[in-house]
Chain A
């Protein structure tokens, strides 16, 4: 079955440590996205990528970094510069970044906590 796989489901970070969240899709989608979800808030865009080797900052990119070396993969690194990383992180993809009528498909998410 096609879909988006996020791993791990739960992740713990120590102070000063970088951690990487994995996102893989086998839907052959061009565009991929990373969102952060905090309690009582909707999803906020961290980064997005429309094609391989290209990505753009979203609304809250500070303290995060991404790469898009393969169409299927869009890993998110939470760096030590992100002072409040505890949140639920969702990865999404869509067929084309400019396909506005196309819904985004989501993974099951990764919950990141500080030790």
Chain B
């Protein structure tokens, strides 16, 4: 069964600094997709970034980027120039063919001014 593990229940970062959130997953599939979602206090789930497993190039969306290591089954999220609005729960998610999404337990990010 596919599982997603986020080993950091909580992280904190100073405003304007960089932080990396970790995610590992377990799968026997070769084709799949990975996602990072942000859940602010409003509780709405917002897509941050996605990565296709067949692409070697790491995805980037403005201040957000990933470090995708397929062999290691690792998918970390890097947030550069952290802002107060980045404070939220962050969930890593996995999806393969015909499958619903599998979510990690989440990492709560605090941004200190």
Contact = CB atoms under 8 A, between A and B. Distances in A.
Interface of A: 33, 35, 40-45, 48, 58, 88, 90, 92, 97-98, 100-101, 103-104, 106-109
Contacts of B97: 98, 100
Interface band, chain B: 20 to 34
Contacts of A100: 31-33, 95-99
13 contacts: A33-B101, A41-B105, A42-B105, A43-B103, A44-B103, A88-B43, A98-B97, A100-B97, A100-B98, A101-B52, A103-B47, A106-B45, A109-B44
Interface in B48-96: 50, 52, 91, 95-96
Most chain B Cβ neighbours within 10 Å, of A43, A48, A58: A43
Name which of A33, A58, A104, A109 has the most chain B CB atoms within 10 A of its CB: A104
Contacts of B96: 100
Please name the 3 residue pairs, one residue from A and one from B, whose CB atoms are nearest each other, closest first.
Answer: A42-B103, A106-B45, A43-B103
Interface of B: 4, 6, 9, 31-33, 35, 42-47, 50, 52, 91, 95-101, 103-106
Given A88-B43, A106-B45, A33 B50 contact: no
B43 A108 contact: yes
